[in-house]
Structure 1
């Protein structure tokens, strides 16, 4: 089958399009025909070796954790899905090797949920990782509720844009950092935009003089330090970008695959609570270009790679 892979750590140039090994379908997995796979910052960080201390790379690595597609064949113990079911998934294992940037992926059922009926393949592929991150931080780590004021960093990005929508659904007021060009977009999501950079603390204080009840940090560094000083008494702080958050009394969060959480997200998408903005779409063979765009860090919403699996010959189905 065709796919993208890399045989060593490095820049986008190490990504190669061509034949990759067919996936083996374990008893608790299903074979998914990939229609689309989203690009996330973690993909290029993994490709550059930044996750090497956490996840073993079994080269060649097929990158990608987000997917939308159609179940071709369930594993022998699978009862949750059958052939023809449309699914989405955050298909992460505890090593790097068998990703979603290919015509087919073997996905453990614990990583999957049914695809939202009202989302395109491209938008659906952008939901799992970013959506689960936002959901698990807001609902479980920060415990956001009605009446809270929440500061969301990079509110126009993949995670931030969904976090704004979910926080509003929970009844919170949302202040979101974003570049000037994305302020109208953040407003459309239900947030109150503020610009990045020098003077951020004063701008946030102007909107929330008593401080904010919760901060969702997706940036780290100076933004994290500033955020810690903006908390109201008993305020909560969580970061997905900087482990130093622990030193400020907050929580460092790493998203995990969770079929129940993902199903809840698909339901919220179908209810119109959560939408996914797709900023750019590339064919699979241009995945390196998609990675380059992701690394520039100016994406509104999601970058997605589309896949058109070749019809296998009789007996060649992986």
Structure 2
């Protein structure tokens, strides 16, 4: 039996008001697949770049955006465990999540703990996996260390701050002055990014920091690297500073990655990495195992009340344009969530 799904279409490089509400009939899940009734899907920086045609490897227009989601399994195909029916699950999708229903490979679904609100759980999917893997798999920061998190009030940043504090790590977090109180409440020492960030960090950590997590890129990446203590690690995971630059969207990212590679070749006793959540997808089985393990670890901390979800707003799917405008306004802490 087919299911009529409501979707938000990104027809081309458009302003938020150019997003379109569409409908599509979905066939029953094939073998190995499951249909999910979406309860929450988020607006991340990826979608903000995609609508500008600036996301590094986005699909050609038109397409349905939506990097991640949380929902309930309503139907399954052959060779899928029947216990999955009726379960609340999460999925990392990259695109397609801005919909009322979606058909996915059952192997990509991660159970959500009972009692965890759908919108709150949604804020921990791509943000939680990104933060966990950068902190524990890439930088491998240990208790007692000091780190710098740029954009500590954002989706990834606020999750990263909490994960680090839970692990006994001191956190310096940049944000605007209006978000300083929220960043402090998460357990970080707030730094005004509009001021002299280098001077502020040096005052708090004269010997440098053990890791920097930078989604901004641009010229500021040089300061991030210079703020590292010996044997420290820079993890770059975006280039927000160049999102509005004209020309080929891949060039700023390639230039950034090239610079990080060059720094690793120098005898400077510091490390630099570019984090891409999809980098391990070539080994599909390992990729799925790590995503499930890391997201489950984050969910367990959230269910235990150790991590607090930062839901900036819950907005109906049909009002995706308004939600996108809010997410891009720079006035919110956490993540804007679409609720079909």
TM-score class normalised by the smaller sequence: 0.7 to 0.9
Counterpart of 1:62 in 2: which secondary structure? coil
Match of 1:259 among 292, 297, 311: 292
TM-score by length of 1: 0.88
8 Å CA contact retained: 1:280, 1:303: yes
Question: In the alignment, is residue 82 of structure 1 matched against residue 84 of structure 2?
Answer: yes
Counterpart of 2:46 in 1: which secondary structure? helix
What does residue range 91-102 of structure 1 map to in structure 2 within 5 Å?
Answer: 91-92=93-94, 96=95, 99-102=96-99
Match of 1:235 in 2: 232
**CA displacement at 1:132 relative to structure 2:** 0.8
Question: In the alignment, is residue 56 of structure 1 matched against residue 87 of structure 2?
Answer: no
Residues 202-237 of structure 1: CA distance to partner in whole angstroms, max 9, x if unpaired? 101111011000001122224322111111011100
8 Å CA contact retained: 1:151, 1:174: yes
Structure 1 residue ranges, 4+ long, deviating more than 3 angstroms after superposition: none
Q: Distance in 2 between matches of 1:23 and 1:9?
A: 29
**CA displacement at 1:24 relative to structure 2:** 5.6
Q: Distance in 2 between matches of 1:265 and 1:182?
A: 24
- Structure-2 change in CA distance of 1:199 and 1:6 (3 Å): closer
- Structure-2 change in CA distance of 1:29 and 1:9 (3 Å): farther
Match of 2:37 among 17, 26, 33: 33
What does residue range 77-226 of structure 1 map to in structure 2 within 5 Å?
Answer: 77-79=79-81, 82-92=84-94, 96=95, 99-226=96-223
Residues 67-98 of structure 1: CA distance to partner in whole angstroms, max 9, x if unpaired? 11111112322238521101122123xxx5xx
Match of 1:73 in 2: 75
TM-score by length of 2: 0.83
Match of 1:315 in 2: none
Name structure 2 gaps, 5 residues minimum: 240-252, 265-271, 279-287
Question: In the alignment, is residue 279 of structure 1 matched against residue 305 of structure 2?
Answer: no
Counterpart of 2:84 in 1: which secondary structure? coil
Q: Distance in 2 between matches of 1:222 and 1:119?
A: 40
Q: Distance in 1 between matches of 2:83 and 2:307?
A: 24
Q: Distance in 2 between matches of 1:129 and 1:26?
A: 26
Match of 1:313 in 2: none
- Structure-2 change in CA distance of 1:34 and 1:133 (3 Å): same
- Structure-2 change in CA distance of 1:291 and 1:21 (3 Å): farther
**CA displacement at 1:275 relative to structure 2:** 1.8
Q: Distance in 2 between matches of 1:213 and 1:192?
A: 15
**CA displacement at 1:118 relative to structure 2:** 3.7
Q: Distance in 2 between matches of 1:24 and 1:217?
A: 42
Q: Distance in 1 between matches of 2:307 and 2:77?
A: 31
Question: In the alignment, is residue 296 of structure 1 matched against residue 337 of structure 2?
Answer: no
Number of residue-to-residue matches in the alignment: 300
Q: Distance in 2 between matches of 1:88 and 1:10?
A: 28
Q: Distance in 1 between matches of 2:136 and 2:31?
A: 32
How well do the aligned residues superpose, as a CA RMSD in angstroms? 1.9
8 Å CA contact retained: 1:32, 1:70: yes
8 Å CA contact retained: 1:6, 1:62: yes
Residues 129-185 of structure 1: CA distance to partner in whole angstroms, max 9, x if unpaired? 111110111111111111110100000100000000111122211110011121121
Counterpart of 2:71 in 1: which secondary structure? strand
**CA displacement at 1:288 relative to structure 2:** 1.1
